[in-house]
């Protein structure tokens, strides 16, 4: 059974303007997203800025309320009597991108980490003991760091503190929202290794959000590619990186910088910005930037189609009955 099961998640942000504050438009930040995360796996989430990655994370954490859809954790619907919000928040934690803004500048490192357990009823002394223990586990000497303030730490150290803070509640699922993106490469590698170790040690499940394809490839078991509030493709990491099926995934992957001079990327694979999520294109949302776009892409919205073991893509070319002229046979998938 999957640890997290998301069905048809929708979040539209109203844009209000004018004297009477009337709703004039809607940002379709997340528009019908369904996926599941199995216990113990790492789901990587990639996509351009504004594709709804972070909104999805915040919806799952219930930091913002979803408009429609269903989120089940451990088989229990969140918000029902089986899974109260406070209990969910103990089992699910999040690490943010900005390591500085995610620590209260007025609290010591120890106080910041001990805050969560104290909210959940742990005594002050026990909470602080746990904070020290966790600091050691994330590779920071407790004796040196407990009394210090966030501005005295480096970015990498702060992000370790944030990880410790998230783990302080002993969660099952940790959502890492661009958690290593702001760190420089060498520190990033250290923190990634730390995350991998902690995952084993505490039997964690990760949802790893990033725009860095290399990092996602390194840490993920499965990868979900998002485009304008929808899932473009989802599948095992090997499948996605070696056999991408959605034109958007292919474009993203070909944009990955290569270190091989013979394998130089010549032309920019994707031009322009993603269309405005206020008025997304009709039919397939990627059609405005897709080289294979046809009339059918404008008329019909493609659905996520199973094209292999655990591998799905939302593209008319993957769907034999769609009427697209370039149907790609999905015989390769086995």
Query: Please, are residues 57 and 223 in contact by the beta-carbon 8 Å criterion?
Result: no
Q: What residues from 196 to 255 belong to the interface with other proteins (CB under 8 A)? A: 196-198, 200-201
Q: d(Cα 45, Cα 210) in Å, to the nearest integer?
A: 6
Q: Which of 56, 157, 205, 305 binds other proteins (CB under 8 A)?
A: 157
Q: Which of 124, 147, 185, 203 binds other proteins (CB under 8 A)?
A: 147
3-state secondary structure of 224: strand
- Residue 142 interacts with other proteins (CB under 8 A)? no
- Residue 184 interacts with other proteins (CB under 8 A)? no
- Residue 148 interacts with other proteins (CB under 8 A)? yes
Q: What residues from 33 to 92 belong to the interface with other proteins (CB under 8 A)? A: 58, 61, 63, 85-86, 89-90, 92
The least distance separating other proteins from the CB of residue 213, rounded to whole angstroms, comes to 22
Considering the complex, state which of residue 181 and residue 288 has its C-beta at the smaller distance from other proteins: 181
First to last CA, the chain: 23
- From the list 237, 286, 265, 306, the residue with the least C-alpha distance to 45 is 237
Pairing, β 205-209 against β 68-73: unpaired
- Tokens (6 digits) for 276: 């405005």
Query: Which region among 94-102, 125-133, 236-244, 287-295 touches other proteins (by CB under 8 A)?
Result: 94-102
- Tokens (6 digits) for 240: 């996605």
3-state secondary structure of 171: coil
Residues that bind other proteins (rule: CB under 8 A) add up to a total of 48
Helices (H), the chain: 53-60, 85-91, 109-119, 124-137, 142-145, 155-167, 185-202, 213-219, 237-242, 247-254, 295-299
**Dihedral angle computed from the Cα positions of residues 181, 51, 221 and 33, in that order, rounded to the nearest 10 degrees:** 150
- Residue 276 interacts with other proteins (CB under 8 A)? no
Q: Which of 7, 34, 70, 108 binds other proteins (CB under 8 A)?
A: 108
- Tokens (6 digits) for 65: 């309320």
Query: Which region among 72-80, 140-148, 210-218, 227-235 touches other proteins (by CB under 8 A)?
Result: 140-148
Considering the complex, state which of residue 135 and residue 318 has its C-beta at the smaller distance from other proteins: 135
The least distance separating other proteins from the CB of residue 170, rounded to whole angstroms, comes to 12
Q: d(Cα 189, Cα 177) in Å, to the nearest integer?
A: 16
- Residue 112 interacts with other proteins (CB under 8 A)? yes
Considering the complex, state which of residue 197 and residue 273 has its C-beta at the smaller distance from other proteins: 197
- Tokens (6 digits) for 26: 């809607």
Please provide residue 143's backbone torsions phi and psi, each rounded to the nearest 5 degrees: -55, -30
- Residue 23 interacts with other proteins (CB under 8 A)? no
Considering the complex, state which of residue 103 and residue 204 has its C-beta at the smaller distance from other proteins: 103
Q: Return residues touching other proteins (CB under 8 A).
A: 58, 61, 63, 85-86, 89-90, 92-94, 96-98, 101-108, 112, 115-116, 119-120, 137, 139-141, 144, 147-149, 151-152, 157, 162, 165, 169, 190, 193-194, 196-198, 200-201
């Amino acid at each position: 059974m999957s640890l997290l099961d998301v069905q048809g998640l929708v979040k539209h942000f109203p844009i209000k303007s004018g004297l009477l504050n009337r709703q004039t438009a809607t940002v379709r930040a997340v528009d019908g997203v369904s996926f599941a995360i199995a216990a113990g796996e790492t789901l990587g989430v990639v996509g351009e800025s504004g594709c709804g990655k972070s909104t999805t994370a915040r919806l799952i954490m219930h930091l913002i309320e979803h408009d429609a859809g269903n989120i089940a954790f451990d088989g229990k619907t969140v918000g029902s009597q089986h899974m109260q919000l406070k209990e969910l928040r103990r089992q699910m934690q999040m690490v943010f991108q900005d390591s500085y803004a995610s620590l209260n500048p007025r609290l010591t490192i120890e106080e910041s980490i001990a805050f969560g357990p104290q909210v959940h009823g742990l005594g002050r002394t026990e909470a602080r003991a746990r904070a020290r223990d966790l600091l050691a586990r994330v590779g920071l000497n407790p004796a040196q760091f407990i009394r210090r303030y966030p501005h005295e730490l480096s970015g990498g150290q702060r992000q370790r503190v944030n990880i410790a803070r998230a783990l302080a509640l002993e969660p099952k699922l940790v959502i890492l929202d661009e958690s290593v993106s702001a760190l420089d490469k060498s520190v990033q590698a250290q923190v990634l290794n730390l995350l991998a170790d902690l995952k084993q040690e505490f039997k964690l499940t990760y949802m790893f959000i990033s725009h860095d394809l290399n990092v996602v490839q390194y840490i993920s078991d499965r990868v979900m590619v998002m485009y304008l509030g929808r899932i473009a493709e989802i599948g095992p990491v090997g499948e996605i990186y070696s056999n991408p099926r959605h034109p958007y995934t292919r474009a993203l992957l070909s944009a990955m910088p290569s270190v091989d001079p013979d394998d130089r990327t010549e032309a920019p694979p994707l031009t322009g910005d993603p269309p405005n999520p206020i008025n997304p294109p009709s039919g397939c949302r990627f059609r405005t930037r897709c080289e294979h776009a046809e009339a059918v892409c404008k008329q019909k919205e493609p659905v996520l189609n199973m094209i292999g073991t655990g591998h799905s893509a939302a593209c008319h070319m993957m769907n034999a009955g769609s009427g697209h002229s370039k149907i790609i046979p999905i015989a390769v998938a086995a």
